[in-house]
Amino acid sequence: MLEILENRIDAAHPFFQQIKRVKSEYVKTQHFKNFSVQAFLQTQYTSTPHCCSSAKEGKQLCIKNGAVEEFPKGVKISELENFNVDQNHFDPLYYFSHSLVEKLIFIELDKDISFEIEHIVDDSDNALSYRVVVQVGKSVHANIYENFSYEGVRQNKILYGVDVELLSSADLTWVRGETLGENSLDILGSHSFCVKDHASLELKSFDMGQTDVLHIYKIDLDEFSRADLAHLVFGTHKTKRGNIAQVHHNKAYAKSVQEARTILHEKATGIFDSKITVAHDAKYSSAFQNSKAILLDSNAHMYAKPQLEIYTDELEASHGSTIGSLDEDALFYLCSRGIEVKKAKQILVSSFANTLIDAISKPEFSKKVRENFEQVYEKKDLL
Amino acid sequence: MIHIDNLHINIGNKEILKGVDLQLEKGKVHVLMGKNGSGKSTLTKAIVGHYDVDVTQGSIMYKGENIVDVSPEERALKGIFLSFQNPVEIDGVNNAYFLRTALNAKERYLEKKETNAADFLKLMRKHVQELGMSPDMIARSLNAGFSGGEKKRNEILQMEILEPDLILLDEIDSGLDIDALKAVAEGINRLKDSKRTFLIITHYRRILDYIAPDIVHVLQDGKIVKTGGFELVDLLESEGYDAIQKDL
């Protein structure tokens, strides 16, 4: 399958060698085996000019069909032509998506700010590929809520990604909500986050739509940095959805916490494939990883692969994964108080999701995600 | 209130109750005592319809109806309440939301007007205060991270708000300190009236000194072997279960 990719990139292109480098490991991954990667590799993409000269100052950062239409006050937007890609990324699609875009959207955050990124797609004919580069300045605190929406789009694809750099002591909360409707947009996001010393990243994704969506993250942690990662996936019908991550503790005293929760109904497939690597020099690291999945239907499938790769003795680390149905004792407890079985099951599924939603540090983001979840969840007769 | 006749219960392939005959009278406080493993908790599970228990023989007549095949939620709506020995922790379910959902379900069943959020909060605050609970328990996740004492008080809080007719308390006194025991006992006493029936499972007389039961039953090897007054508690406290064995 990766031959398709090699055929699409010139052998002289520097990314060609990068793709060859990661190829052998890539074919062993859960997403390669269980997500429709091939469909993304075969698609012909359109890469539009990224920053419209007509982009206006507004309330949010609005990216329509891959081009910036509106940007909030305090956010510096420009086009970036020569970007130094992450040379050690594990995902061939990271290099593939970079090879497709000539210009990237560059967002520079040099003062404390809170804003939304709204991706809007209304083009059914052209699959899109675009990338965003974000730099959070030294000691800057930034909060971003990212959302995808579509207007009348049928069965289109987006190959997307962000390269984010948090400079020393920066603090970034990035929450992504996504409730795309059936047969609208399939998304593959391949990202890179570089968290410098004493910086802190809170990255939380809430994928609750009815299309195929996969996000791939590489996260690099420097000394005394921190990454709080959380992923909620709610899949129905035949959707395939998941999160892939590699978290690298490169220096001492970094901390990473990754919590994934997946709810699968009907014939949905969930994927969680994540590895935390603690380097020899990354002494006194703390690394915790956990994946929990609830299967609401016997036809639903979950592929979970939590991994730790540790090259130092002085650290605190744990990882784990559970896949099961709803807790019978909890269900009985609710029913024993007169709550009907269907309602009791709904309460338990909501509670499973709420533990991640409640943990978002920004209450305004948490409120948005909860509203989205309730809207999607209550619309479906799941149980 | 409830009439249990020749009840045989299996859990898995093992017979736990081997022909229980028990009548619980309206307005009375009954106590059930027995050695560990005698089948006390299994009996309460059978009354509330737990998925573990398999009724192989006999009947449970509640308000004139055999409820053996009635679902657990319907039994609850009909007024049966079990305070669990080890209440489950459900992270992410708000205590107040859960209890209001349960109360509203009961109100709908009884064709009463549903209590709105504001009135419910007032009601919950009042009971929380009476039970000496911390007000923050209203907004916390259901039993999640609660101490043993807090869980037991939370069971009594649910009992007081749902106002059931038949109340089964499975070792409600276990793990409680003196203050918590008193608060729980006071909660039980507040609900005692001529229409409501209690079945209290306990190993000790401490809580019974506060509650003053009417009738005491002893369960042994899956059968009720003795029924009497408070003097039975005294006998068991002083001589142990061997005293009952001698009479059989």
- Answer yes or no: are the C-beta atoms of B159 and B167 closer than 8 Å: yes
| Average pLDDT across chain A, whole number | 91
Other CB atoms within a 10 A radius of the CB of residue A124 amount to 15
Of A327, A338, A354, the CB nearest to B105: A338
Residues B76 and A271: their CA atoms lie apart, in Å, by 40
The pLDDT, as a whole number, for residue A246 is 96
* Closest-approach residue (CA) in chain A for B164: A337
Helices (H) and strands (E) in chain B, counts: 9, 12
Q: Which residue has the higher pLDDT, A190 or B184?
A: A190
Predicted confidence (pLDDT) per residue in A300-355, tens digit? 999 999 999 999 999 999 999 999 999 999 999 999 999 999 999 999 999 999 99
Helix (H, G, I), strand (E, B) or coil at A303: strand
Best A261, A290, A325, A336 member to test B by mutation, with max B CBs in 10 Å, is A336
B53 contacts chain A (CB < 8 A): no
Q: Name which of B50, B91, B102 is nearest A337 (Cβ-Cβ).
A: B102
According to the model, what pLDDT value does residue A337 have?
Answer: 97
pLDDT of residue A109 exceeding 80, the answer is yes
Task: Reduce the secondary structure of A35-62 to three states and give it as a string.
Answer: CCHHHHHHCCEECCCCEEEEEEEECCEE
Residue A383's pLDDT is what? 53
Chain B interface test: which of A294, A326, A337 (most B C-beta within 10 Å): A337
Mutate to test the interface with A, among B75, B81, B93, B112 (most CBs of A within 10 A): B93
Average pLDDT over residues B200-210: 91
**Cα(B210)–Cα(B220) distance, integer angstroms:** 25
Q: How far off is chain A from B244, nearest CA to CA, in Å?
A: 34
Q: Of A315, A273, A307, which Cα lies nearest the Cα of A293?
A: A273
Position with higher pLDDT, B242 vs A109: A109
CB atoms near residue A182 (< 10 Å):
13
Mean pLDDT is lowest, of A39-48, A85-94, A194-203, B112-121, for A39-48
∠ CA B230-B236-B241, nearest 5°, is: 135
Interchain contact B91–A (C-beta under 8 A):
yes
> Contacts of residue B48 in chain A, CB cutoff 8 Å?
336
Q: Give residue B45's pLDDT.
A: 96
**Would you say residue B127 has pLDDT above 80?**
yes
Task: Please report, rounded to a whole number, the percentage of residues in chain A having pLDDT higher than 90.
Answer: 70
All residues of chain A having their beta carbon less than 8 Å from the beta carbon of residue B92 are: 350-355, 358
| Model pLDDT, residue A17 | 81
Domains and CATH numbers, chain B: 2-247 (3.40.50.300)
List Cβ neighbours of A288 (8 Å cut-off, separation of 6 or more). A256, A257, A258, A316, A317, A318, A319
- List the single residue in B81, B88, B106 with the smallest CB-CB distance to A333: B88
State the residue for tokens 């992504």. A176
Q: What is the DSSP letter of B212?
A: -
- Averaging pLDDT over each range in A154-158, A216-220, B191-195, which range is the top one? A216-220
Q: What does the pLDDT look like over B4-30, one tens digit per residue?
A: 999 999 999 999 999 999 999 999 999
Q: Grade residue A123 by pLDDT with cuts at 50, 70 and 90.
A: confident
Does the CB of A373 have a partner CB in chain B at under 8 Å? no
Is A98 exposed, middle or buried (CB count within 10 Å of its CB: 0-12, 13-18, 19+)?
buried
pLDDT for A49: 64
Give the B window 122-161 contacts with A, CB below 8 Å: 141, 158
Confidence of residue B237 (pLDDT cuts 50, 70, 90): confident
ipTM > 0.90 (yes/no): yes
Whether the Cβ atoms of residue B175 and residue B203 lie closer than 8 Å to each other? no
Name the pLDDT band for B97 (thresholds 50, 70, 90): very high
Contact between A297 and A267 (Cβ < 8 Å): yes
Residues of B in contact with A339 (CB under 8 A): 73, 101-102, 105
Sign of CA dihedral A134, A309, A353, B98: negative
Contacts of B45 in chain A (CB under 8 A): none
Task: Sketch the domain layout of chain A as residue ranges.
Answer: 2-325
- Residue range A71-99: average pLDDT? 90
Can you give the pLDDT at residue A379?
Answer: 67
What does the alpha-carbon distance between residue B165 and residue B168 come to, in Å, rounded to a whole number? 10
Residue A12 has which token pair?
């002289």
Q: How many degrees, rounded to 5, is the angle at CA A275 between CA A270 and CA A276?
A: 140
A340 reaches B (C-beta below 8 A): yes
Instruction: Give the list of residues 6+ apart from residue B108 with CB closer than 8 angstroms, or none.
Output: B114
Q: Nearest by CB to A338, which of B51, B84, B102?
A: B102
Q: Across chain B, what does the average pLDDT equal?
A: 93
- For B123, the token pair is 């009601």
Q: What is the pTM of this model?
A: 0.87
Instruction: Return the residue of A nearest to B82 by Cα.
Output: A336
* Chain B residue with Cα closest to A328: B51
